Structure 1
């Protein structure tokens, strides 16, 4: 189970760093969308709801106002990080499907039980995942499925989640899904593996609906 835990940590830490592999072109064909993956929209409202889940969970575990403000400061890029995670979840699931990888409910429960034991209980695990990875308690099982899919996919490829072969599989899946990211949340230059600013009609349309979260 130590290998599983190590894989989970590696994948969670790599999500933002490896997100440049998810190519984004952006246009004005999908108003109100934060991203389009496989022809399905991730709406701005859905993204904001996911961010609110994290903020509410942070507030619940941090009673002191100063500490809460500090937590917000540390997660200033939460909106973009959350969107990347939502997109990556779908891309990873597609890559796993293409490789014939599946994850059972029993496997998720077993992984959670092991991690809870290491974290000193259910609350300890929930707090750790919230503070370190921005995953609220209600999304924990969902995230563990992501971790297990990543682990199994890496094993299927004969590599691990930190190696180029793993992320190449995800890049190929993102191409199949035609990932299209709203440039309000950043565009990605695949060759440079870095975020670049993008200005398109999408920016004007989306920012008019709400600009509470600055990433």
Structure 2
């Protein structure tokens, strides 16, 4: 069982891990026409990216005035997150690891209790991790997956060695998938498993969510 305190440490730990991965990237091959990114044999479509952004903006718009101000980079961060999720899935599958629905449900129930209810949990994940409500289960599935990848070497995510283990596994998975990203979003560095210099001026932007 994963304790609440452990997960609450893991959430910022993931942010630290992703920040550590965010190094300068080399160029990437052009993505297939009509796709925001291509990950292995799978396409992440522009429509899917826009739908995810719309989910986020719709939920953010319901927050009290002044609680959220949209920053530049939301669309690029969304593409990066969707590609990152596919890379994590590939790394797990490569090592015959999986996260069950019951594990996700248990973790979510623990977090609902820890944060004092579903609405509070949804707001926290939206503001701190840019996770809209429909993507919460996927977010926790990824959290548990990262923990399982770290555990392959007997490590824990959030520690120096645990983060190093996960970094190496994700870089390997990213390289195997030969990720390509539409240059309008930026370029994907397989060695760092990160999207570099995303741009998004070609997509419609909303004003501040209030």
TM-score by length of 2: 0.82
Give the equivalent residue in structure 2 for 1:10. Answer: 13
Structure 2 gap segments, 5+ residues each: none
| Runs of 4 or more above 4 Å deviation | 19-24, 188-198
Give the equivalent residue in structure 1 for 2:141. Answer: 145
TM-aligned CA distance change 1:50 to 1:197, over 3 Å: closer
Q: Deviations over 1:114-154 (max 9, x none)?
A: 11111111111111000100101111011111111111111
**1:33 has 2:25 as partner:** no
Q: Which has the higher helix share?
A: 1
Question: Which of 57, 64, 69 is 1:71 aligned to?
Answer: 69
Q: How does 1:124-139 map to 2 (within 5 A)?
A: 124-139=120-135
**1:93 has 2:89 as partner:** yes
TM-aligned CA distance change 1:21 to 1:178, over 3 Å: farther
TM-aligned CA distance change 1:87 to 1:132, over 3 Å: same
Q: Distance in 2 between matches of 1:141 and 1:12?
A: 18
Structure 1 gap segments, 5+ residues each: none
Aligned with 2:69: secondary structure? helix
RMSD: 3.0
Contact map agreement 1:4 1:151 (CA 8 A) in 2: no
CA deviation after TM superposition for structure 1 residue 15, in Å: 3.5
Q: Which moved more, 1:162-171 or 1:133-142?
A: 162-171
CA deviation after TM superposition for structure 1 residue 14, in Å: 3.5
Aligned with 2:70: secondary structure? helix
Contact map agreement 1:92 1:149 (CA 8 A) in 2: yes
Contact map agreement 1:20 1:195 (CA 8 A) in 2: no
CA deviation after TM superposition for structure 1 residue 19, in Å: 5.2
**1:81 has 2:77 as partner:** yes
TM-aligned CA distance change 1:90 to 1:22, over 3 Å: farther
Q: How does 1:95-134 map to 2 (within 5 A)?
A: 95-134=91-130
Aligned with 1:8: secondary structure? helix
CA deviation after TM superposition for structure 1 residue 32, in Å: 1.6
Aligned with 2:32: secondary structure? coil
Q: Distance in 1 between matches of 2:97 and 2:22?
A: 22
